[in-house]
Structure 1
Amino acid sequence: QDRAWRQIVNILDAQRRGCDLFDIEELREEYSPDAFANLLMCEFVDDGASIFPLAMLQPCMVDSWVEWGQDYKPFAARPYGDRAVWIGYDPAETGDTAGLVVLAPPQPGGKFRLLERI
């Protein structure tokens, strides 16, 4: 356990609570069983065959509200102030899986900081 508190609401919970914005059977047809479980039922993916298992990535995580509080204001018009940022875009060949990230360039000897992911 990572001792982090989470409130998890999967798609069936949402449906039971009255959300009618989707058709469960249509979604089951659209996604593979593994993708449905991961994306809509909030079940973790088995990362045993991953290049970067979650256990390897977790030590890289930080609480940005605490660690970056001096220079990163996520709700400001310019969250990183007037400092330079790098933007990366990975277009999707098909579907709606393109990705966009905004990074803070590292200071000499420092680490990259992911400021926004869309």
Structure 2
Amino acid sequence: MAPAISPQDSRAPLTHKIRKPLVEKLRRERINGSIEQLKSLLAPEFLRQRPDSKMEKADVLEMSVCVLRRLQSVRRGYAKCAREAPRLLSQEERLGLLGSSREDKMREEDSSPLGKEDSSAKSGPWRPW
């Protein structure tokens, strides 16, 4: 004997068939919206590299990967610099390369009542042009 099909069971495949294209459409809209945001962020970079070509979705994604890799490289460079700076500064102090003239200059700036403004007064009035 065949299983009995209730009215609710017969609606389940129908709602799934209706709902799936809507969900897929929303997913595509999200993807396209994100690609448009990337395109607007990368437009200057893209125009610099390919001034006469149209930006396709694949181009936008490839350019995003390139820019992110470049940023990662810069970030690694800054991190390496931050790690090396204290070590190099401590070596300079041990070798006496940070001479007293630098320390004296810093003390003078700190003790001056006008601070940095004092040096600008000697160079003349400030002019915006």
Higher share in helix: 2
**Is TM (by shorter chain) over 0.5?**
no
Higher gyration radius (CA): 2
More strand by share: 1
| Class of the TM-score when normalised by the shorter of the 2 chains | under 0.3
- Scaled by the length of structure 2, what TM-score is found? 0.23
